[in-house]
A and B are shown apart, each in its own frame.
Chain A
């Protein structure tokens, strides 16, 4: 991240914004109707249309959309338009399973994603393995968000970098924990309304300032056509294969984000969810597409010509630094934009944290360790788990940042979708296929994950442009279908589902 040091007034603006989040957490606590897991993790009877749309938006579009998407476009050009398609694919996948899932969730009072799996299959190893898969996949995502928060605050201040990073991680993590502990899902969703709103404004500001300062898309095209024609040309065969692969992997994996599934549960009614999903279908055109335009414009700019492809994650910061030097007005626009980035990071991190905490509390502690625990005790445990998880993740983030050779998290970040999509047969197929046997998705998940982990070190197939998760899912589905059609120990399992 580039250095964008802010003055006292601008830092004051950011501080007011952060303090307002704690105020919202307090309001969330006041609105609590009962001391139960359902109230803490799903806001009781649920949320309405506006809150649902903005919380889904703020959760799905993280700081990654601004940093990584602009950087990736800077590197590969217009081909990153695939991000618009894979974000839209998530919504299409929702259409397949969200209506049924929501109906069941209301009927059966689901809290965690694994509650559905337990209800549908009653196969405890599958429920536990699915929960662990989700915790591992998004736990790493939480680590990345905390790291990005530290880097952002580091870039905004003039303190010694490592001190600023540590202070940034701790300060933002504590603020997040305070409002989440106070108000649970209600606080997270309400802060998401603010954060999602700021993020939408931020994207609009970004498009405006970038096109205004660097010139329009036509000018960028002419420059790139001369200097880097591959960035405006139609993509090659390898990129096309990767494009299709991304649509499948992110479309299925992104729809199975546990925090997104819990938002499906939390929608107040079918109508609220339906309207929210219909609205979400258009949002990639207002977020990912803008990031692509900014990346292309930056790639054409002579002011950013010194950045190498390896530095591409700094593109967004450099754009901010250049634009804010133009006038006090531009400077304040960038301050709002930085608040939007902070909002994007925090809204994603708090949703992930709440989801991890709910799964550890409900799926592991309640189901496996203490089934007799009261609702009040479980809620207390859930809050404590949040603090412990953040403490561990913050410590890891600080440790990794202090290393001389910082390890890259990119590969693990990519694996998140490869892992999550292996839950597709259970959630999506299980929603519609009555004949699916209880043990089939468990062995499918085991096989799919094993293949994903086996393919990563090899890299040959993935270098061909297809994600390991796609091969894993194909194998997973094969196992699920085979075991459902020709179940092992047929006589024993026959009575389970087909009674």
Chain B
């Protein structure tokens, strides 16, 4: 059995959204709202519904969140109480140049975070032609 066939089989068990009507899902009807929560399909635990059933804890996401928050706060020009227009940088007022520069740093951090934190070990298994 190919890896893809295994995936298909698993999906069928979970009541996926393909041509076969999902047996565990009921159409929406207002009066029966209280009973609307479908019964869980076999093996469909909370963990199975998450992208990563066994998440690893790492301080990096928190540090990144802090880094992005600080950069966005620095990017918004709230701290130029008086003026901030001179000297011109590439024809732009100083506050615009600083704000644009911080924006560039946010882009760099986003790109770095994508490469540093994004898992890519399952590329081949998920790909296709």
Q: Are A44 and B22 in contact (CB under 8 A)?
A: no
Instruction: Scan residues 354-381 of chain A and give those whose CB is less than 8 A from a CB of chain B.
Output: 362, 366-369, 371-375
User: Is A342 an interface residue when CB atoms closer than 8 A count as contact?
Assistant: no
User: Is B17 an interface residue when CB atoms closer than 8 A count as contact?
Assistant: yes
Chain A residues near B108 (CB-CB < 8 A): 281
Q: Contacts A123-B37, A217-B92, A493-B37 given; indicate if A91 touches B17 (C-beta within 8 A).
A: no
Query: What is the CB-to-nearest-CB distance from A367 to chain B, in angstroms, rounded to a whole number?
Result: 7
Q: Contacts A45-B129, A92-B106 given; indicate if A278 touches B68 (C-beta within 8 A).
A: no
Chain B residues near A492 (CB-CB < 8 A): 34
Query: What is the CB-to-nearest-CB distance from A156 to chain B, in angstroms, rounded to a whole number?
Result: 32
Q: Mark B85-107, 1 if CB is under 8 A from A, else 0.
A: 10010111101100110011011
Chain A residues near B37 (CB-CB < 8 A): 122-123, 438-439, 493, 496
Q: Which residue of A lies closest to B112 (CB)?
A: A278
Query: What is the CB-to-nearest-CB distance from B27 to chain A, in angstroms, rounded to a whole number?
Result: 5
Q: Are A85 and B110 in contact (CB under 8 A)?
A: no
Chain B residues near A268 (CB-CB < 8 A): 126-128
Query: What is the CB-to-nearest-CB distance from A406 to chain B, in angstroms, rounded to a whole number?
Result: 35
User: Is A46 an interface residue when CB atoms closer than 8 A count as contact?
Assistant: yes
Pick from A108, A123, A217: contact of B90, CB below 8 A. A217
Q: Which residue of B lies closest to A48 (CB)?
A: B127
Q: Are B50 and A45 in contact (CB under 8 A)?
A: no
B-side interface residues, number (CB < 8 Å): 69
Instruction: Scan residues 76-94 of chain A and give those whose CB is less than 8 A from a CB of chain B.
Output: 78, 81-82, 84-85, 88-89, 91-92
Q: Are B129 and A368 in contact (CB under 8 A)?
A: no
A111 to B104, CA, bound (A): 34
Q: Describe A's contact surface by its main secondary structure.
A: helix
Pick from B17, B50, B111: contact of A115, CB below 8 A. B17
Q: Are B96 and A81 in contact (CB under 8 A)?
A: yes
A318 to B51, CA, bound (A): 50
Q: Are A103 and B51 in contact (CB under 8 A)?
A: yes
**A interface bracket (residues with beta carbon within 8 Å of B):** 35 or more
A367 to B19, CA, bound (A): 11
Query: What is the CB-to-nearest-CB distance from B8 to chain A, in angstroms, rounded to a whole number?
Result: 9
Q: Are A124 and B85 in contact (CB under 8 A)?
A: no
Chain A residues near B36 (CB-CB < 8 A): 123-125
Query: What is the CB-to-nearest-CB distance from B58 to chain A, in angstroms, rounded to a whole number?
Result: 13
Chain A residues near B90 (CB-CB < 8 A): 217
Chain B residues near A44 (CB-CB < 8 A): 128
| 9-residue interface stretch from A230-238, A389-397, A410-418, A450-458 | A230-238
A41 to B37, CA, bound (A): 28
| 9-residue interface stretch from A11-19, A163-171, A269-277, A307-315 | A269-277
Q: Are B38 and A84 in contact (CB under 8 A)?
A: no
User: Is A240 an interface residue when CB atoms closer than 8 A count as contact?
Assistant: yes
Q: Are B7 and A107 in contact (CB under 8 A)?
A: yes
Pick from B18, B103, B117: contact of A285, CB below 8 A. B103
Q: Are B72 and A89 in contact (CB under 8 A)?
A: yes
Pick from A115, A243, A271, A495: contact of B76, CB below 8 A. A243
A107 to B50, CA, bound (A): 11
Q: Contacts A45-B127, A46-B128, A496-B37 given; indicate if A78 touches B96 (C-beta within 8 A).
A: yes
Q: Which residue of B lies closest to A267 (CB)?
A: B126
Chain A residues near B17 (CB-CB < 8 A): 108-111, 115, 118, 362, 366
Q: Contacts A124-B36, A125-B36 given; indicate if A368 touches B120 (C-beta within 8 A).
A: no
Contacts A217-B92, A233-B93, A375-B18 supplied; 8 other A-B pairs, CB < 8 Å: A78-B92, A95-B118, A109-B16, A110-B17, A122-B40, A124-B28, A278-B115, A371-B25
